[in-house]
Amino acid sequence: MRPSDRLVPPAWMDDGPTRRLFAALGAGGIAARFVGGCVRNAVLGRAIDDIDLAVDKPPETVIAALGAAGIKAIPTGVKHGTVTAIADGRTFELTTLRRDVETDGRRAVVAFTDDWLEDAARRDFTFNALYADPDGTLYDPFEGRADLATGRVRFIGDADRRIAEDRLRVLRFFRFHAWYGRPPVDALGFDACRRNAGTLGALSGERVSKELLRLLEAPAPVDALEAMAEAGALDRWLPEYAGTVRLRALIARETRPDKLRRLAAILPADADATTIGKRLKLSTQESLRLGVMLAHDPVLDLAGGPRAWRAGIYRLGTRLYVDRLLLAVDTPGDWRGALALAESWTPPELPVSGGDALELGLAPGPRIGALISAVEDWWVAGDFAAGRAACLAELARLAKAS
């Protein structure tokens, strides 16, 4: 693989921890290059998530070289060639050059190789097969840099074949389009995704939801999502998909992306959060939050002004109130005012409790809960003005009356 260009290396590519790692690998006779997302993002001047390196020797050799230099090595996935190195507090994922021996659409059997081009050819998209040396020397065997510049997500090799090897690539195609693409989507890739959308059922819910949520998290996910739906790539995993009208409105309102809230924005009002949560393997907490975001109850009264806003914030809690508020794009009222209030006002605690009811001489039982809840309704309706004494009086009054 020949160098194609040079980039000004970002700090992490050439600083203390990186030099220490490369020195250790070099002493062990191992050649290493940065690869994948970190190089792609370095080219774009964007922040990076994780640092991946390709190495030309098997994991045992890598572990030995790291050990000899006193760098912590974790055998993360030795069978697949991956070792995690921690040098001066920084984590690097080192993976031995590989080629596919066998693929079944989901999992590949790989063999190690010392051929950089073979390793590049098994990667998914041209701009994900960029490699770099610490001094910024760039290797770009499939002209991924040009595709990055024009926002084209291009499969390496024949798209249908690449998807047959690993169906997840359909979802990755749209996810990378959301982050790095520019409309229109690459026609060859799109057509192949559409032809293969029917095979996505074989994927696992975890992997699908990870891709979908990462797509939704992109600064501008609408085009990619619409293309994904048009290709039929949502049919199996999100048949509830209801278009992007509310998502567009949500994006115009929100100050930072929230993937789960954006998911709620592409679902119809009657969607069942539990079913979706199970299918997409969301955590219990995420499912519950999705449920509240989709719920009709309590009704959000944005036109009711600060009094109604405070009642809503109290009932839902600040975070969920903000979710509902940002999603309520068809609800009339001053949503900006309500949002500002939610961000500045801390809901008070009800000044009376079940213990107070017992002290009034009431017998323990469900009636106490009902009375406290009635006092709460009265207190909320009075805009939280009543203090403890007034609440106690109301409790006594209600207890006597019932």
Q: Which stretch binds Mg ion (CB under 5 A): 36-44, 208-216, 316-324, 352-360?
A: 36-44
Q: Looking at beta carbons, which pairs linking 248-257 to residues 24 or more positions away fall under 8 Å? A: 248/222, 249/329, 250/326, 250/327, 250/329, 251/220, 251/222, 253/326, 253/329, 253/335, 254/326, 257/216, 257/217, 257/218, 257/219
123 scored as a contact of ligand ATP (CB under 6 A): yes
211 scored as a contact of ligand ATP (CB under 6 A): no
Tokens coding 209: 């939801």
Residue 17 CB, shortest distance to Mg ion, in Å, is 18
Residue 302, SS3?
coil
Residue 348 · residue 384 · CB < 8 Å: yes
Q: Which is nearer to ligand ATP, 213 or 399 (CB)?
A: 213
Q: Count residues near Mg ion (CB under 5 A).
A: 2
Q: Which stretch binds ligand ATP (CB under 6 A): 46-54, 227-235, 291-299, 304-312?
A: 46-54
| Residue 376 host element (H or E) | helix 366-381
List the one residue from 37, 59, 141, 144 that touches Mg ion (CB under 5 A).
37
Question: Which residue's Cβ has the minimum distance to Mg ion?
Answer: 37
129 scored as a contact of Mg ion (CB under 5 A): no
State how far Cα 356 lies from the chain centre: 46
166 scored as a contact of ligand ATP (CB under 6 A): yes
37 scored as a contact of ligand ATP (CB under 6 A): yes
179 scored as a contact of Mg ion (CB under 5 A): no
Q: Which stretch binds ligand ATP (CB under 6 A): 168-176, 180-188, 301-309, 370-378?
A: 168-176
Exposed, middle or buried by CB within 10 Å (0-12, 13-18, 19+), for 207?
Answer: middle
Q: Looking at beta carbons, which pairs linking 49-53 to residues 24 or more positions away fall under 8 Å? A: 50/91, 50/93, 51/12, 51/90, 51/91, 51/92, 51/93, 52/92, 52/93, 52/95, 53/92, 53/93, 53/94, 53/95
Q: Which is nearer to Mg ion, 56 or 93 (CB)?
A: 93
Q: Which is nearer to ligand ATP, 167 or 262 (CB)?
A: 167
127 scored as a contact of Mg ion (CB under 5 A): no
Please choose which of ligand ATP, Mg ion, none residue 168 contacts, taking the beta carbon within 5 to 8 angstroms, the exact cut-off set by kind.
Answer: ligand ATP
Residue 172 CB, shortest distance to Mg ion, in Å, is 11
8-state DSSP, 45? T
What's the CA gap between 73 and 16, in Å, rounded? Answer: 18
Tokens coding 126: 């041209």
Q: Count residues near ligand ATP (CB under 6 A).
A: 13
Residues that bind Mg ion (CB under 5 A): 37, 50
Residues that bind ligand ATP (CB under 6 A): 36-37, 49-50, 52, 123-124, 128-129, 166, 168-169, 172
